[in-house]
């Protein structure tokens, strides 16, 4: 079952299935290492439904919730 990355609970790991959005969004996420097949762990969530801190292969990155909603993942 696929869900949006923005809906994954803190501390959970998932695998990226697909990235929706414009070419610019997909290129930005690719530069950060968010690619289909990559395992991602949601480390922290900013208060008031803010951005997410992710762990991707030992690297910490932050993305906004709007962008995270464009990433489909499998738990």
Whether residue 49 has pLDDT greater than 80: no
Which residues, 6 or more positions from 38, have their beta carbon under 8 angstroms from its beta carbon?
15, 16, 56, 57
- Domain residue limits, the chain: 2-74
- Structural contact between residues 14 and 5, judged by C-beta atoms closer than 8 angstroms: yes
Q: Is 43 exposed, middle or buried (0-12, 13-18, 19+ CB in 10 A)?
A: middle
Domain 2-74 has CATH 2.30.30.90: yes
Write down the pTM of the prediction: 0.92
- Structural contact between residues 12 and 52, judged by C-beta atoms closer than 8 angstroms: no
- pLDDT, tens digit (0-9, with 9 covering 90-100), for 1-37: 899 999 999 999 999 999 999 999 999 999 999 999 9
């Amino acid at each position: 079952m696929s869900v949006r990355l923005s809906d994954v609970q803190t501390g959970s790991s998932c695998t990226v299935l697909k990235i929706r959005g414009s070419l610019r969004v997909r290129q930005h996420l690719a530069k950060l290492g968010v690619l289909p097949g990559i395992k991602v762990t949601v480390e922290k969530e900013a208060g008031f439904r803010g951005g997410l801190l992710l762990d991707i292969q030992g690297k910490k990155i932050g993305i906004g919730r709007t962008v995270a909603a464009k990433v489909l993942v499998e738990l």
